[in-house]
Structure 1
Amino acid sequence: MKILFIIENGLQESLGVASIIAYISRTGGHTADVVLYSHVKDIFDYIKTTKPDIIGFSIVTGSHRFAYSLGKKIRSESVIPTIAGGPHATYYPEHMAESGAFDYICRGEGEVPLATLLNSLSKGENVTDIAGLWINFSGTWHKNPIGHLLEDLDSLPFPDRSLFFKYPFLKNMSLKRLITEIGCPYPCTFCHAPLYKQEMLGKGRLHRQKSPQYVIGEIESIQGIAPLNSIHFSDDTFGHDLKWLKEFANIYKDTIKLPFTCNARADTNMEAIGLLKSAGCVGVQIGLESGSKRIREELLKKYWTQEQAVEVCRAFKKVGIKLMATNMIGLPSETLEEALSTIQLNATCGVDFARCNVFLPHPALQLTKWAQENGYIDKNYSIDDFDAAPLNPIVKTPHREQFINIANLFSLSVKKGLMKGPFGKLLLNSKPNNLYNFIGSLNLMQEFRFFNLKLLPALDYFRNTIGNPLGFKYGAWPTDRVGKK
């Protein structure tokens, strides 16, 4: 059978879809295709030309409206069944079922359920009892529980990225992403990890990691089909297992020898810092999140101290590893002073680059539920109200406009102290405006420097994904073409 995956745009090729494509090919001999909606003139002509047996969507919350709209249109105009998976399907299946857009919903990890579905459909067998799938059969949803987790990630074939790399701007991008593990041991309330633990409880070992040898093989598989100058490991926290990191560092520096970046914590072990440096790490993204001890501990469940953060950041810088700090403002109950303290924490830590996002309250998050219970978000707030716009604080606060200004001026304030003194107060209390938006958009230039991106491939990538390298709008072309011919 042939499955067509429709991806809204190429902002990030889906590693989950690439893994599923490789798995269904190996276990059932099925074929796949990937199309970027943003890069096809008429999706329905494409479907008619390529003749898939089933159409798939991998959905993250925020892109669900696009998938719902297109899925409903496909179901109304053809008999080709649709299936949707991804994080949104795992955490909001009822909402997806009610959308009328899909025949199948895949919850949890998709490799085994999708392969089982395709195998059964190709043989004309019953499909209503496949673990991990919700099946719409004659208007009734058969809601099967999530199946057991794959224990051995090394048993999976390397993700097949070739269908994404048919787009030159993805293939030629000098940086490629990898994930070495599934699951995160930390309880951060603004993250999906606690939700994942809750949904997968009793389904097997939650935290699983690919062996260093597998990771090296996966990198070499990319080198065989595309340019590769640097790597970003997108694990929530890379290399927190010292035994694993020691083995990885020894192999990586002798074989791959490429610079890489990764995500780390503000309480990173000092030995780990040395191992990362020896392996070839040139930059870490470190989640400082908030300068307020109250916010970090009581709301976010991050239990490191400011002294730890400063010590760790200085240790990274001492060995020549660049720091990109990630931060949040507009958090429930956050005061203006606490938001400004986040700027000061970044300055004290001496970070090289500073990102700042406004808190996006996904309805299923623990922090969102706390905010609803305590009156900072409406109790009837739901997925229908969710807005992924980067500068739209949803939390009730008297400081909404100041938070928007802080987000736009954050990086410049860390480096130049803009928010200090009378001038800083004037900047802070001004109405949000296009000048501030423009300054905020320049933060994207940090990505070029932190990730050591090669200029021409990076410019081509950003032109084909966000449209304007100096803007916040995602999607090379507007996706309101859904439903139009």
Structure 2
Amino acid sequence: MNILIVQLVPPSHAPDRPRFCHELGLAVAMLRRRNLEVALVAMSDYDRDRLRSAVTRHRPSHILMDVPPHRHTLARHTIVEIAERHYLPVILVGRYATSQPEQAISIPGVTALIRGEYDQALPRLTAALATSDLSPAEVPGVWFNSEEGLVRNVPDKPTADLDTLPHPDRDIFDYGRTVSAEHEAAFRATRGCLNWCAHCLNDWYIELYGRDGYLRRRSVDHLLAEISAVVERYQGIQGIVFEDHAFATDAEWLARFAEEYPRRCGLPFRCRVCLNAVGQHTAELLARAGCRQVDVQIGSGSNFIREEVLTLRTSHNQILNGVSSMKRAGLAVRGMVFIGVPYESEVSVEETLDLVTALKLDEVVPRIFFPIAGTRAAEVCAENGWISGRGEECFYVPRSVLEMPSLPAERIDEIFHRFHALLRSRSGHSLAAWWRRIRKLATQPLHTFGRSRRRQRPRGHQ
């Protein structure tokens, strides 16, 4: 059985360079354990010639796609073309298949999909499709279009011991090109997330598996063994990035990591940190391990939007204290904020600017909010009739697709493009801010200057 993976990469990505994906790499490793032939073709848009060339070269029996939820329109067009021109059945996995299974299984050409984590179910499904010993309808987590109708199977519990899984396959992603372009190697220490953010699809996985035992962590030794193997295999790696949100949430594990990582690897790394789960001890452990930068999600300066709309569950004080702890530990802090979230207004934008200015972050990354189908935030937008006719291409442009009475799309786009200029004006680094200070001083009564100087004299000075 031969499988061809069709990967939809971002438009800004090199159109022919695959993008490393931990889940997909793990699935490929599991399939190759069973001696299946697996190949991959990357496309930033539908490319008929590139797809035909890949099909001719690899002669697959099935197509596998892990569809990004914000590219389901492109995916649908691609799948229909595959079915009509190449007569190949398509298997869908990933977040789109998990959160929108009814829509996904109805696409002409889709023979099956897997809901939830697919590293265990995919090898079983391919074995069932290749032989008559097992029916695809018997594989947990699989939705299958059978002759008797649509079969909807509940998934098994996810793999509890992550150390029993192989390291993700990176060769299929032509990972040497990724290292040459980015000079970093990406890893994950955990699987699962216990946060319930409204703009994320994680709640679908929590509903499938429950909260107990869903967040799992690799041992330090297992993680470092993968890092050592990757650094040795791919030349030119200058830094490491840990992409999981829960990387630094276990203090005992992090203490062990801080002891072993500098000795066994030593490359500088960056990671994500949850501001509602970080203190001075965690920050110091990260610094001791070799962390140089942390990425934090601030979301919004508005408490209502951050805690009620986005349900980030991170308070104003937790943000201030968390960033302060990391800066005291010598870590650079890069923060992400949304522009144009549901119920955004000029007032909430001002609150975001105020908070970001007070934090004095080393880098700020503004993002225009995009309502990903299947998220609770997207449901709020749809219920209020805020989603315009603009398509999923706005996710990458970026442009807002929301027309809200409190903040129209045109104004959201303007704020996004001027965000750093607005920050500079508040921080006093812009020419306009400098001129305003000069004008303020010019209108200040002369006698106040003397008072100001006298107040600054040391106490007791005559």
TM over 0.5: yes
Give the CA deviation at 1:93. Answer: 0.9
> d(CA) in 1 for partners of 2:233 and 2:9?
21
User: CA, structure 1 residues 254+104, in 2 after alignment: closer, same or farther (shift >3 Å)?
Assistant: same
1:6 and 2:15 aligned: no
1:31 and 2:37 aligned: yes
> d(CA) in 2 for partners of 1:85 and 1:248?
32
Which residue of structure 2 lines up, in the alignment, with residue 21 of structure 1?
Answer: 28
User: CA, structure 1 residues 209+93, in 2 after alignment: closer, same or farther (shift >3 Å)?
Assistant: same
1:300-343 C-alpha deviation (Å, 9 max, x unpaired)? 22343333322322222232211111001212222201112211
What code does the residue aligned with 2:347 have? E
Checking the alignment, whether the CA contact within 8 Å between 2:179 and 2:234 is kept in structure 1 is no
1:236 and 2:245 aligned: yes
Checking the alignment, whether the CA contact within 8 Å between 2:194 and 2:206 is kept in structure 1 is no
1:223 and 2:231 aligned: yes
Which residue of structure 2 lines up, in the alignment, with residue 412 of structure 1?
Answer: 421
Give the CA deviation at 1:189. Answer: 1.9
1:88 and 2:96 aligned: yes
Which residue of structure 2 lines up, in the alignment, with residue 71 of structure 1?
Answer: 79
Give the CA deviation at 1:67. Answer: 2.0
Checking the alignment, whether the CA contact within 8 Å between 1:336 and 1:399 is kept in structure 2 is yes
Give the CA deviation at 1:129. Answer: 1.9
What code does the residue aligned with 1:285 have? D
1:59 and 2:72 aligned: no
User: CA, structure 1 residues 393+80, in 2 after alignment: closer, same or farther (shift >3 Å)?
Assistant: closer
Select which of 279, 282, 295 maps to 2:305: 295
> d(CA) in 2 for partners of 1:65 and 1:143?
23
Which residue of structure 2 lines up, in the alignment, with residue 162 of structure 1?
Answer: 171
> d(CA) in 1 for partners of 2:430 and 2:181?
46
User: CA, structure 1 residues 418+255, in 2 after alignment: closer, same or farther (shift >3 Å)?
Assistant: closer
Checking the alignment, whether the CA contact within 8 Å between 2:280 and 2:329 is kept in structure 1 is no
Give the TM-score, by structure 2 length.
0.83
> d(CA) in 1 for partners of 2:321 and 2:6?
45
1:413-452 C-alpha deviation (Å, 9 max, x unpaired)? 324438999979xxxxxxxxxxxxxxxxxxxxxxxxxxxx
Counterparts of 1:18-417 in structure 2 under 5 Å?
18-26=25-33, 28-38=34-44, 41-125=49-133, 126-138=135-147, 140-165=149-174, 168-169=177-178, 173-201=182-210, 205-227=213-235, 228-267=237-276, 268-373=278-383, 375=384, 377=386, 388-389=395-396, 390-400=398-408, 401-417=410-426
User: Which structure has the bigger radius of gyration?
Assistant: 2
Checking the alignment, whether the CA contact within 8 Å between 2:240 and 2:267 is kept in structure 1 is yes
- Identical aligned residues as a percent: 22
> d(CA) in 1 for partners of 2:202 and 2:390?
19
Consecutive unaligned residues of structure 2, counting only runs of 5 or more, are: 14-18, 434-462
Checking the alignment, whether the CA contact within 8 Å between 2:63 and 2:89 is kept in structure 1 is yes
Checking the alignment, whether the CA contact within 8 Å between 2:190 and 2:215 is kept in structure 1 is yes
Give the SS at the match of 2:399.
coil
> d(CA) in 2 for partners of 1:167 and 1:81?
31
Give the SS at the match of 1:42.
helix
> d(CA) in 1 for partners of 2:313 and 2:50?
50
Which residue of structure 1 lines up, in the alignment, with residue 458 of structure 2?
Answer: none
Give the SS at the match of 2:171.
coil
User: CA, structure 1 residues 397+421, in 2 after alignment: closer, same or farther (shift >3 Å)?
Assistant: farther
Give the CA deviation at 1:382. Answer: 11
Which residue of structure 1 lines up, in the alignment, with residue 459 of structure 2?
Answer: none
User: CA, structure 1 residues 422+167, in 2 after alignment: closer, same or farther (shift >3 Å)?
Assistant: closer
